[in-house]
Amino acid sequence: MGKKLDTALEGMRVIKRWMVFIVLLILVIVVAASIIELTIILYRDLTNNPDNSIFLDSGELLRIFGFAFMVIIGFELIEAIEVYFRENIIHAEVVILIAVIAMSRKVILLDLSEYDPVAVIGLSMILLALGGSYFAIKKAQNLS
């Protein structure tokens, strides 16, 4: 019975590695398409200004920065999956860093007039918790 179980578990590991590889390929395709889309958006915004200026207004800049942050988050996700593929473990530091980047994007694009103050306080508490977690992980790594 032990030999059959080991064979089944090894088969599951192989299937899992293929599934992770497929997710990695999908993320690479999505990030590449996002970079192309970001380039197109930036080109259109720079060339379609009615007053023929080369500067973008704040709404356009926020939209472009939001899109750029999404690309950065995609890069971080790809890196996290690559590490998992190589080492077969997920590093909490990388996951928290991705969450910090995503929350930073949210804060940068946040329109305070649209949100209840309690929601903004909740968002800041999440950021503090993520920052504290990241700090604790880094501190623990430096001690060991």
- The per-residue pLDDT for range 58-89, each reduced to its tens digit, is 777 888 888 888 899 999 889 888 888 788 78
CA distance 139 to 55: 43
Q: What DSSP string runs through 13-29?
A: HHHHHHHHHHHHHHHHH
Confidence of residue 114 (pLDDT cuts 50, 70, 90): confident
Domain ranges for the chain: 2-143
Q: Mean pLDDT across the stretch 30-50?
A: 86
pTM, full prediction? 0.73
Please check the confidence at residue 122 and state whether its pLDDT lies above 80: yes
CA distance 14 to 7: 11
Write down the residue that tokens 């997710």 correspond to.
23
pLDDT score, position 133: 92
The closest of 14, 4, 27 to 88, measured between CA atoms, is 14
pLDDT score, position 6: 86
Tokens of 64: 């472009």
pLDDT score, position 87: 84
Confidence of residue 52 (pLDDT cuts 50, 70, 90): low
CA distance 40 to 57: 17
Confidence of residue 1 (pLDDT cuts 50, 70, 90): low
Mean pLDDT of the chain, nearest integer? 86
Q: Which residues contact 63 (CB under 8 A, 6 or more apart)?
A: 41
Residue 74 · residue 114 · CB < 8 Å: no
CA distance 140 to 93: 11
pLDDT score, position 12: 92
With vertex at residue 89, the alpha carbon angle to CA 20 and CA 12, rounded to the nearest 5 degrees, is: 50
